[in-house]
Amino acid sequence: MLSLIAYNPLMQVLGMGYFQQRAFFGNLNGVVTWLDGHIFHLGYLPAKHSIDFSDTHFGVIIALTILAIALVFTIVWTLLAKTKTNYNRLYYWFSNYLAYYIFLAMLPYAIEKIIPVQATYPTAPELLSRWGDLRRWEVLFRFMGTSPLYCMFCGWLEFTASVLILFNRTRITGSLLMVIALVQVVCLNIFYNNNIILLSGILLLADLFIIATALPKLYIIFIQQKPVSLARYRYTFHTPWKKYAMIALCFLPVWRLVSITTSSWKYYNRFARNQQKQRLYNVAVFIQGNDTIPPLTTDTTRWKYVCFLDFSLKNKQMVKYNMQEKTVNYQCKWDSIGHKVTFIDPNDTSKTGIFYFKKYANDNLELKGALLGKNMTMQLTNAPIDSMTLVKDKFLFMQEDQ
């Protein structure tokens, strides 16, 4: 039942996005509200809390409900089916289902690490962020993003395990690799307080279920160091339409792989473009009206830094920092012919500012115009992003200065 809620296979195959999934979970909102009000009393507030199946009130209530239902059914089934000697066939087909389930859930994470977009290389505003202002999960993604090779290594491990787990002959090997990958993921989510602990835990439990019957043999191989066959009996369909249905299912992983790779590559190109085109400036002179405002740290009017981001032709941004390093983001529209740039508040498009710019030597810039009804003139000096320690830092095998 959890697999129909967490990483729903149909949603994964159809590539349904965040808002489509929220609409799906919204259908359960009334049930969750009733369950919390009459049974769990966890304090779920529909108007305040997120309608997501993750580490939220909503997700925990659903998980606890499914757990309670599963325990009741397990007890009843055990009492009523005493004459049944084994469930080998059911276990085989359910393991196949879980293998596809894990593949469809883990493939996006694997591809988004191989093409490093899950944790992207820090942008200039992210490099300027103060460590103490970051939440733990933000620290997690920052340290992963600063080393794309680490992300790629984790991605290839997850991808290899996801592919191997699909096939009966390599399923145990793939499951063991997946345990290694998922234990790390679950630990990072727990220790860095990332809000998908429940989801990653479900994937780990599903993977452990697949290798449950092989554990005695794995003990003989790894502990007793004796040879033993891991081959399991393979059940097949004899009805033609069932055979064709299984063949059709084999194309779903290929389609999913192509779909995720294509979208991840497009996303990566945006960040690669920004790494080349982003610009960071110190505000050397700031004139508002007729007053030149000095760079006092207590001032909330004067600008300290200006950062221009360029993810695509239609996605250009400006991030301005005041003297206390608090930020405000604006969308940008550059007019290279008229030497004009327009800043637009994304939260209120009626709030715009128009500045005329002049370029000087060393990529320095002058902006003169008005924003929020205030006339401003700024002299901006280029601050090369490559001069930041994090960007310049390189790997050395022998490190004497640590």
The alpha carbon dihedral of 324, 325, 331, 333 has a sign of positive
Burial class (CB in 10 A: 0-12, 13-18, 19+), 347: exposed
Q: What is the pLDDT at residue 252?
A: 77
Residue 372: phi and psi, rounded to 5, are: 55, 35
Q: Which of 256, 323, 245, 228 lies closest to 283 in space, CA to CA?
A: 323
Contacts of residue 232, defined as CB under 8 A and 6 or more positions apart, other chains included, come to: 92, 168, 213, 214
Q: Where are the alpha helices (DSSP H) in 54-196?
A: 57-80, 88-114, 124-128, 136-145, 148-164, 171-191
C-beta of residue 12 within 8 angstroms of C-beta of residue 104: yes
Distance CA 157, CA 163 (A): 10
What three-state secondary structure class fits 261? helix
Q: Which CATH number fits domain 279-383: 2.40.128, 2.60.40, 2.60.120, 1.10.540?
A: 2.40.128
What three-state secondary structure class fits 226? coil
Burial class (CB in 10 A: 0-12, 13-18, 19+), 21: middle
C-alpha distances (whole Å) from 7 to each of 102, 103, 159 are 9, 11, 17
Tokens of 175: 């499951």
Q: Which of 73, 71, 72, 53 lies closest to 63 in space, CA to CA?
A: 53
Q: Which of 196, 209, 170, 16 lies closest to 104 in space, CA to CA?
A: 16
Q: What is the pLDDT at residue 240?
A: 79
- The DSSP bridge partners found for residue 327 are 321
C-beta of residue 273 within 8 angstroms of C-beta of residue 310: yes
Print pLDDT tens along the chain (402 aa).
777 778 777 676 666 777 777 788 888 899 999 999 999 999 999 888 888 888 889 999 999 999 999 999 989 988 888 788 888 889 999 999 999 899 989 999 999 999 999 999 999 999 888 888 899 999 999 999 989 999 999 999 999 999 999 998 999 999 999 999 999 999 999 999 998 899 999 999 999 999 999 999 999 999 999 999 888 888 887 777 777 777 777 777 888 888 899 999 999 999 999 988 999 999 999 999 999 999 998 888 999 999 999 999 999 999 999 999 899 999 999 999 999 999 999 888 888 999 999 999 988 999 999 998 899 999 999 987 765 555 555 655 555 555
pTM above 0.95, yes or no: no
Q: How many other C-beta atoms are found inside a 10 Å radius of the C-beta of residue 358?
A: 11
Amino acid at site 299: D
Distance CA 21, CA 373 (A): 42
Q: How many CA atoms lie within 13 A of 400 on its CB side?
A: 0
The alpha carbon dihedral of 267, 271, 277, 282 has a sign of positive
Q: Which long-range contacts (CB under 8 A, 24 or more apart) does 353-359 make?
A: none
Distance CA 305, CA 129 (A): 12
C-alpha distances (whole Å) from 172 to each of 93, 155, 202 are 15, 19, 18
C-beta of residue 151 within 8 angstroms of C-beta of residue 113: yes
Q: Which of 331, 356, 355, 354 lies closest to 344 in space, CA to CA?
A: 331
Q: What is the pLDDT at residue 161?
A: 97
Residue 24: phi and psi, rounded to 5, are: -65, -50
Distance CA 115, CA 92 (A): 34
Q: What is the pLDDT at residue 397?
A: 53
Residues in the chain: 402
Token look-up 């320690």 returns 389
Q: How many other C-beta atoms are found inside a 10 Å radius of the C-beta of residue 3?
A: 17
